[in-house]
Amino acid sequence: MLANTASAPSADRLIPALKIKTPESNANSGGALRLAEFVPWTVHNALVHYLSPRGLEQYSGGGWGARDVCQGPVETLLALGRTEPVRDLLLRVMRTQNANGDWPQWFMFFERERNIRPGDSHGDIVFWPLLVLAQYLLATGDAGVLEERLPFFDARGPEAGEQATIWEHARRALALIERRVIPGTALAAYGHGDWNDSLQPADPAMRERLCSAWTVTLNFQVLVTLARALRSIGRAHDAAALETRSEAIRRDFQRLLVIDGVLTGYALFDEGGGVRYLLHPRDRSTGVQYSSLAMIHAILEDLLTPVQIRDHLRLIDEHLHAPDGVRLFDRPMPYRGGPQHLFQRAESASYFGREIGLMYMHAHLRYAQALAHLGQAQPFFDALCQANPIGIRSIVPTASLRQSNCYYSSSDAAFDDRYQASAEYDRVNRGTIALEGGWRVYSSGAGITFGLIIRRFLGLGRESDVLVLDPVIPPSLNGLEVSAALLDRPVKIVYQVGSAGCGVAEVSLNGHGLSFVRDANAHRPGAVRIPIQPVQTLLAGEGNLMRIRLN
């Protein structure tokens, strides 16, 4: 882990044998040990998603989803410190970009199938490759990648398309993003859909008038992250332009999407200037009043004020939190036997699972990430443990038996049909219906899980020439010992955890104190950054000991 090397790693280095020793038997010890046991399987599952583009259960078809491959595989590789494969992934994705600046919803990995691809994509797809570019730049400082020349996609052949630098590819996408907004606002238009694939608009006219609050947060995140990355490599002028755009989004987010103190899931603008709010307490069409995904990401990106964050965490606890984790909505979308009014699959799908069944683990993991951002150590740890199938019944008593070495994309209530699901949905919270594991292995969620364990729970990360430490650990795990690898050297890390459970106060390596600078975080002491060079100097071939003291 945290190698940041271009060399091809062996299999035993790719799947880390993370060993955890808990201080004593307490309520969190078992969860910590189960997380350590699950780590190699999260990496295994994430590598299946990354390296087997057809997947285990899609052997006759399928490919790389543009949104998916930019999340799980990237977050896995960054947590492992393997940046060269991230560069390769970035270039592969950039070569599939259309000349208009957008990407397809998915594309085939193998060159012989390159022309098998959809003609459109959801409104959020254009953002993901830009986020990977920003993350890669921050992780490596490799400014030269921006001058790499690649073609845009052309059906005539791999080199037939217009040639452009990576930065020109990025500018083409940024220009498209700037055009795709609700008129008179800085808010991204919905297009063909967003992360929730079940909510594609039933009426094509909605594509330019509907706004997803989650897509707006993604737009903001991409602009802010890419601006930070550009500043880190000396391109302040380009960064400033993106920061100006991000502030316009922040203003309109608060002005148009936070209504009566509650973030709306969607806003439908009419030509006369009126706005209809969906998945919000004002919604009289769907019966759904709260949508967690937009709330979670608005917290992560600091688009809400501290008071608004407190209020939205309360809403999540009261209306969206179930025994198996945070659910997408407070109740299922209405089902009318097939006819579609607002959204396609959500109103017509007969199967009650994955997005339709509302407990989609990917969203729950982002909730865990938001709790870590806020420094809520125990709730973060609890949420992380809910994503672990090992010993799941000790946490979720109504969970069905599950294959313990598989990441599950969802937790699906075992209703007979959607009519029963709508009528008896409160049984989920009461714990009177079984919760079955959904789609296994082939999902970006496994990589996200691994990244959260390594970079949020244990707090081990790297950006370019600095070590980034930001553990979030419950105080009851004071004395936690972890055997891992740091810059390809074995190291034992001992965590001294104070009452806050976060905020590094002191770091030593082999008895030598390490100086650091601290990142800003409006909610708690931020991550600390330690130059790599003194760490490399102090690391021995074996027997290394790092001590990290948290507030």
Q: Catalytic residue numbers?
A: 197
CA 430/CA 415 separation, integer angstroms: 14
User: In this structure, what DSSP letter does residue 523 have?
Assistant: S
Q: For residue 287, with 0-12 CB atoms within 10 Å meaning exposed, 13-18 middle and 19 or more buried, which class applies?
A: middle
Give me the sheet containing 460-463, strands edge to edge: 460-463, 466-469, 528-531, 517-518
The DSSP result for 258-292, as a single string, is EETTEE-SEEEE-TTS-EEEESSTT--SSS---BH
CA 393/CA 401 separation, integer angstroms: 8
* Residue matched to tokens 């100097």: 537
CA 7/CA 277 separation, integer angstroms: 51
CA 9/CA 485 separation, integer angstroms: 13
Q: Which two tokens stand for residue 223?
A: 């602009």
Is there a contact between 229 and 276 (Cβ–Cβ < 8 Å)? no
CA 235/CA 207 separation, integer angstroms: 34
Is there a contact between 342 and 278 (Cβ–Cβ < 8 Å)? yes
| Nearest residue to 352 (alpha-carbon basis) of 417, 419, 425, 431 | 417
What are the φ/ψ torsions at residue 355 (nearest 5 degrees)? -60, -35
User: In this structure, what DSSP letter does residue 486 have?
Assistant: E
Q: What is the dihedral of CA 394, 399, 405, 410, to 10 degrees?
A: -130
Q: Which two tokens stand for residue 103?
A: 């990407």
Residues with Cβ < 8 Å from 99, sequence gap 6 or more? 152, 153, 154, 161, 162, 172
* Residue matched to tokens 């104070």: 498
Residue 259: count other Cβ atoms within 10 Å of its Cβ.
Answer: 14
Is there a contact between 263 and 282 (Cβ–Cβ < 8 Å)? no
Triad 359, 364, 365: Cα angle to 5°: 140
